[in-house]
Structure 1
């Protein structure tokens, strides 16, 4: 999944792809909750799970490149540490938001969550361009590649 991610531009594209996969996953999960037939729900669950895994993997490959590409020279460790606080906050607040949206909102809550993923992915391009303004470009060859499993 990370093979085509080489710079901030391709990383942003990959995150936008993730932003399209995640609402599709949310819609498939919503179908399982709204379906009158257990067979429809059973058929939609593997598709929803696969879409989610693909979306999360695409997000991770793009985010990894962006986190290194925007790090100030010689301060990648500090930047990674600070960048990691976002994930910690998401792990802390995410379950509350998800419980409210998914459990309380049912299928419409799942669709709203997918819409939020899509909107967030499209804000990544302007955010990255703003952060990279005035910084020399960093390419994939300037930091180590992701090891393949």
Structure 2
């Protein structure tokens, strides 16, 4: 299995809630930095305890994404897109509407010669999504 691991700068929880809504996904697990046992070698500031240490979200029957927060400046991943193949036009439109809100549409979700629907959008967190409905 290959699953994308998305890194955020203090926005993982918010982003994963949006992705859960977009795909009607199942949050399999989410651990926060505050859930870790105290470790003097890795102190966690009080302001960081609600940040996501690790999250796992099931988007489709066999598709997962993972994510966490960091405290470094992260550029948008222009070289990587998450390709999502969905089984219904309705599910694609639902997810598309959520992800394009505050984002940038690269290619409108539309019929193509190779699929019922195809499109590409970058969400407001800088993650690029490609949709295909066969």
Same fold per TM (> 0.5)?
no
Q: Give TM-score, length-normalised by structure 1.
A: 0.27
Question: Larger % of strand: which?
Answer: 2
Give the structure, 1 or 2, with the largest relative contact order (CA under 8 Å, sep 6 or more): 1
Question: Larger % of helix: which?
Answer: 1
Higher CA-based Rg:
1
